Amino acid sequence: MSGELYACVHAAEFPAQALLRLRTDLQSQPVAVLDGPASQETICSLNRHAVQRGAVLGMTRLEAEDISGMLLLRRSAEVETAAHAVFLECAAMFSPRIEGVSEGTACGLALDIAGTERLFGPPEKLSARLRDEMATAGFRVSVAVSANFHAAQMKATAAHGITIIPDGEEVRSLEKLPIAALNLTEEHKETFALWGIRTLGELAALPEVELVKRLGAAARDWRALAQGVARHTFEPIEPEFALKEYYNFETPVEQIDSLLFIGARMIDCLVARAAGRALSLASLAAEMKLEGGRIHRLAIRPAVPSVDRKFLLKLLHLEMGAHPPQAAVVSLTLTAEAGLSSKVQLGLFAPQTPEPSRLDVTLARLKAIVGEDRVGSPVLEDTHRPGSFRMEGFVVGAKSSALEIERSRMALRRVRPPRPVRVVLHAMKPVAFSDEGSRFEIESAYGPWKTSGCWWSLGGWDTEEWDALAANNNGEKFGCLLVLDRLRNEWRLEAFYD
């Protein structure tokens, strides 16, 4: 091979492939894609099963409906955009220099693979890996490799499977391709048809001077293309890495099981794409467009990034069960945030700990039973209100240092809910209190510590706190926190000091 080397990937009937890549249950059925106004819908793309049934491009809906077993789908620009991003991302795994060569309803990419032999082996091996990677993502493609950019593009468009064109053999490889491979105008096609020129090999054999005299300077370029020697200035595109999958349902979906069937395939694709970059899924957001135009959103965030497909699907299932959509779903979008996989090194004699995935599933089930605001980690709020906190999701963070663990501290153990008590005052100071029939004498009391706030809302407070050292009838002493709620004129036992 010469210093230049290109691999062209061609996906024919891309609108149909984009719709079927996530619908594995429909890939064995004859499917045609319709485009155009509702009253003038025609077939713009179809799979090979539809071709075997007699369907052709340009056929109207009425004509297609007469074919037995034919499944008709509506073309979706959003689905094709999402599929093209995946298509481009798969190609970027083999080369950072990619140029788009799509034509009509086909999607094509040309990769500059010069110098990649040490990474992927010879062109034959790279082409096989590239085709397998595309098949994993749900695309059926043909691949052609050549030192000439245009030769690889034309051969990938016309041939099936994998084609390797040796350097210097471009003319012989392209000679049997039809003249239509050059995308000529109708006038020039008729001219060549009158001359009896039907293949690129016959065009390449014509004398250049006489050809230019009759058809102009453009004929020189056509002859160079037919000979596989045309030059090309490579114009690479910059693919953007975004973990996103989209599917637009032909009919609104009401059952969660039907949503999860598509969601499972979406998660498989997201995990495979992330794993190809040595990444995991740190979060997963689902956006469902409902009938009527409303949007229903869900989000899951595992304790640690994961590539476990079944685990992520189970979390999505539990989240949908806890927050089901309130109407039929028209489209589903899954967006993932990439994260680094974490490995935990356990000690030889350390006790076995549960897997983080099991913890996430258990928490999701608990949230579905008791409510989301009752499961998680308590976090103090930035307010002067005593004991004010909120619940947040568990986050795996750094462990405390040994110095912090060994430091002795006094802990305030809150009583949830606070217990109402009867308090005996002397000189406006508590000296005893009764709790559930038991009497406790207060030896020392410090206070009052007065706090108030939010007087403008229903959640306002006006309290007096007393730190008390009390003793029971047996002489056992303990520290506690007594609070007088001045708005309700009641005393409460709110905490113990440990």
Query: Alpha-carbon distance 16 to 27, whole Å?
Result: 10
In this structure, what token pair is assigned to residue 58?
A: 């340009």
Kindly state the percentage of the chain with pLDDT values over 70: 93
The model's pLDDT over 80-94, given as tens digits with 9 standing for 90+, comes to 999 999 999 999 999
More confident residue, 12 or 345: 12
In this structure, what token pair is assigned to residue 182?
A: 């050059």
**Residue 2 pLDDT class (50, 70, 90 cuts):** low
Query: Alpha-carbon distance 478 to 411, whole Å?
Result: 13
The model's pLDDT over 171-201, given as tens digits with 9 standing for 90+, comes to 999 999 999 899 888 999 999 999 999 999 9
Rg, Å, the chain Cα set? 35
**Residue 379 pLDDT class (50, 70, 90 cuts):** confident
The model's pLDDT over 254-298, given as tens digits with 9 standing for 90+, comes to 999 989 999 999 999 999 988 888 889 999 999 999 998 999 999
Q: What is the pLDDT of residue 403?
A: 46
Give the mean pLDDT of the chain.
89
Q: Which residue, among 103, 105, 152, 96, has the nearest Cα to 127 in the 3D structure?
A: 152
Residues with Cβ within 8 Å of 433's Cβ and at least 6 positions away in sequence, in order, are 421, 422, 423, 424, 439, 440, 442, 470, 482, 491, 493
The pTM of the full predicted model, rounded to 2 decimals, is 0.69
354 cis-preceded (ω within 30 degrees of 0):
no
All domains in the chain, ordered by first residue:
6-227 (3.30.70.270), 244-342+353-397 (3.30.1490.100), 412-497 (no CATH)
More confident residue, 335 or 346: 335
Q: Which residue, among 250, 369, 259, has the nearest Cα to 324 in the 3D structure?
A: 259
The model's pLDDT over 41-66, given as tens digits with 9 standing for 90+, comes to 999 999 999 999 999 999 999 999 99
Alpha-carbon distances of 413 from 57, 305, 418, 495, rounded to whole Å: 75, 34, 11, 5
**Residue 343 pLDDT class (50, 70, 90 cuts):** low
